[in-house]
Amino acid sequence: MTYSGLRIIKEAITGHKGWKPAWREVEPKKDYEYVIIGGGGHGLATAYYLARNHGAKNIAVLEKGWVGGGNVGRNTTIIRSNYLLDGNEPFYEHSLKLWEGLEQDLNYNAMVSQRGILNLVHSDAQRDAFIRRGNAMILNGADADLMSTQAIQKRYPFLNVNNARFPIKGGLAQHRGGTVRHDAVAWGYARAADRLGVDIIQNCEVNGFQIKAGKCVGVETNLGYISAKKIASCVAGSSSRLLSKANMRLPIESHVLQAFVSEGLKPVLPGVITFGAGHFYCSQSDKGGLVFGGDIDGYNSYAQRGNLPIVEDVCEGAMAIFPMLGRVRILRMWGGIMDMSMDGSPIIDRTHIDNLYFNGGWCYGGFKATPASGWCYAHLLATGTPHEYAKDYRFDRFAKGGMIDEKGMGNNPQLH
């Protein structure tokens, strides 16, 4: 069933009796060509591009909960490609280009809003760093605009550019950045993958791997054993727990990242703003709520909830940049489980076990990477070779000294 304005009118006239489920409810088969573990954005995107780009058949996506219930539905919805390093920038720029055509490609309203993102500058040294970043973005085909204090004040008149503690000396803007409705991304990819024959199996938890002679031949689930020729892990913050069932120890840690939304307000924030003197970022949803977040909680956890010190830290960042929000009430807060890699960049690679592949270590960047992650992971699964945009996202970069350290802070996941 194709979605369109005419379809909406027809259903409204006929009592909305013609709508069909977005995807099928199916029972798992005993054998598949590809099994993708994880029904979040990355897993569903991988299944979709595997079927669409490579003509693959007999694909299953196994999700231990429900589609959209993991990190893909628990983030701050920001998309951007304002990265510095060559290992990252082409990949995220490819992802942003895929976002720009996503709704037409999937025939689904994901509410892609390219309202722009602005990273504020509060010191001369920070301006120099952002000039370098902007030049790297332009060299890789992305858009970058170093805005003056006057231009920022005109676009965001409520900002106190002359703040004694955090003066605003400019900012790096990417006008093609913005936000996307997070859970709609999962639903859109699920629907599109289903239309290409992919089996999406919810409430199907993988409890173990069947490995024979160094080759992975299937998975044990709560719904029974499923064999496959290629098995792809794509479970974000649960990666370490899942791959431990295959006796693998990953170079990642799991941390909680909290997000918040305020009560609904009249339109006050036209784009996404990030605070340059602290880790705070904010945008305004279509419902009027301010969506914002900050640092990860500084301890390892698999809980989807955080603690009070981070709440205080994020609210302090909000007050430092937006003192006008002092009386605004927080409506709700939640947490997602971040798979933090040692250098702050992801891994898309085959493992040392034949037929077992891994996608993870996305740190803060998982949601914005969804289309490119699926695109490149599908390429790896179908061809056996890394995609050009993900050629540096290998396991062996840590052994070879080829780390992609965007923040230049060393091999400590808490610092990324």
Each residue of 25-59: pLDDT tens digit? 999 999 999 999 999 999 999 999 999 999 999 99
Based on the fold, state whether residues 130 and 260 are members of the same structural domain: yes
Give the per-residue pLDDT at 135. 97
Domain assignment of residue 70, yes or no:
yes
Q: Find the radius of gyration of the CA atoms of the chain.
A: 22
CATH of the domain at 168: 3.30.9.10
Report the chain's mean pLDDT, rounded to a whole number.
95
CA distances from 232 to 31, 66, 189, 219 (A): 15, 18, 17, 11
Q: How many CA atoms lie within 13 A of 41 on its CB side?
A: 29
With respect to residue 143, please indicate whether it lies within any of the assigned structural domains.
Answer: yes
Same domain, residue pair 119 and 164: yes
What pTM did the predictor assign? 0.96
Dump pLDDT digits (tens) for 294-353.
Answer: 999 888 999 888 888 999 999 999 999 888 888 999 999 999 999 999 999 999 999 999
Token look-up 């990242």 returns 257
Whether residue 100 lies inside any domain: the answer is no
Indicate the residue among 293, 312, 341 that finishes a domain: 341
Domain span at 117: 112-178+253-341
The tokens of 293 are what? Answer: 């977040």
Q: Is residue 316 part of a domain?
A: yes
337 and 276, same structural domain? yes
Same domain as 337, residue 360: no
294 and 402 assigned to the same domain = no
Q: Say whether both 273 and 242 belong to one domain.
A: no
**Residue 116 carries which side chain, given as an amino acid letter?**
G
Cα(294)–Cα(300) distance, rounded to whole angstroms? 17
Please state the domain count of the chain.
Answer: 2
The domain boundary residue, chosen from 294, 318, 341: 341
pLDDT of residue 298: 80
- Residues 294/299/302/306 CA torsion (nearest 10 deg): -40
Q: Residue 101 falls within a domain, yes or no?
A: no
Residues in the chain, pLDDT under 50: none
